[in-house]
């Protein structure tokens, strides 16, 4: 009997999605980068049909933008979308923090600490991995809630945030300060829901701020206002 080599087809599409998501989050793919179907198909060893389906999914997630008869491109979120994404992310991850503070197990705490330690290593070794692990930390937390839909949305919104940072953030530097992650874990370990939620929202706000995304009420760029100081007399 032959070894079971056959892959789920749904998984073939999801695999490509996952690979592209990762490439986007790691900033190997940048907003505006073109994603031709056959190039994609060649890369992954599938036909355009499959590549196309993956692009459709990613478009639904907001990571890719499709326009008729045009090559798919990595999406460039508008500044409003970026801001909105972070605000929703804060709300959802506050839910995660609240939920976990009540239910987290010692094993999960250990796993989180290990993850943060891995981040610390990667932070020096590999920029791409550091960015990815920073996002993974949040996905890991969401997964620990055991709430499947919450996990799904947190994951999606985390990826979108990554894209927003790619578009508007400065070069990595410290998008996701490891120290802040550690504090979140500490609050969870104590079972302090308020502190956990506070650390989480503070952390995410800081990330958004670093991306200059949350600037309260984006300056309206009104010509008259700008020129006022230059008007003589």
Partner DNA sequence: CATCATCATACTGCATGCAATAATTTGAAG
Partner DNA sequence: CTTCAAATTATTGCATGCAGTATGATGATG
DSSP H or E run through 158: helix 148-168
List the structure tokens of 163. Answer: 């894209």
Which of residues 59 and 94 has its CB atom nearest to DNA in the complex? 59
- Residues 7-46 touching DNA, rule: CB under 7 A, are 7, 9-10, 12-13, 35-39, 45-46
Rounded CA separation 90/133 (Å):
19
CB of 95 to a second copy, least distance (A): 6
Place of tokens 């009540």: 102
Edge-to-edge strand order for the sheet containing 64-65?
34-35, 72-74, 64-65
Nearest to 98 by CA among 36, 51, 44, 142: 142
Candidate segments 86-94, 117-125, 134-142, 208-216, binder of a second copy by CB under 8 A: 86-94
Positive or negative, the Cα torsion across 189, 192, 197, 199?
negative
Which of residues 35 and 101 has its CB atom nearest to DNA in the complex? 35
Candidate segments 9-17, 37-45, 196-204, 219-227, binder of a second copy by CB under 8 A: 9-17
If contact means CB under 5 to 8 A according to the sort of partner, which of a second copy, DNA, none does residue 39 touch?
Answer: DNA
Contact residues toward a second copy (CB under 8 A) are 8-10, 13, 49, 52-53, 56-57, 59-62, 66-68, 80-81, 84-85, 87-88, 91-92, 95, 147-150, 152-153, 157, 160
């Amino acid at each position: 009997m032959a070894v079971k080599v056959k892959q789920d087809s749904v998984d073939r599409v999801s695999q490509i999605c996952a690979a592209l998501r990762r490439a986007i989050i790691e900033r190997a793919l940048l907003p505006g980068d073109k994603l031709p179907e056959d190039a994609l198909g060649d890369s992954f060893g599938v036909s355009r049909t499959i590549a196309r389906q993956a692009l459709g999914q990613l478009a639904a997630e907001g990571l890719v933008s499709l326009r008729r008869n045009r090559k798919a491109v990595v999406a460039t979120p508008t500044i409003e979308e970026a801001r909105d994404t972070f605000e929703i992310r804060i709300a959802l991850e506050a839910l995660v923090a609240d939920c976990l503070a009540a239910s987290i197990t010692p094993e999960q705490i250990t796993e989180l600490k290990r993850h943060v330690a891995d981040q610390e290593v990667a932070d020096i070794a590999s920029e791409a991995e550091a960015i990815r692990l920073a996002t993974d930390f949040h996905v890991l937390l969401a997964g620990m809630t055991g709430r499947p839909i919450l996990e799904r949305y947190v994951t999606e919104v985390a990826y979108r945030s990554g894209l927003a940072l790619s578009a508007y953030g400065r070069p990595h530097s410290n998008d996701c300060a490891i120290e802040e992650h550690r504090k979140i874990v500490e609050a969870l370990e104590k079972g302090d829901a308020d502190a956990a939620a506070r650390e989480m929202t503070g952390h995410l706000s800081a990330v958004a701020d670093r991306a200059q995304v949350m600037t309260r009420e984006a300056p309206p760029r009104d010509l008259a206002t700008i020129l006022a100081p230059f008007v003589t007399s």
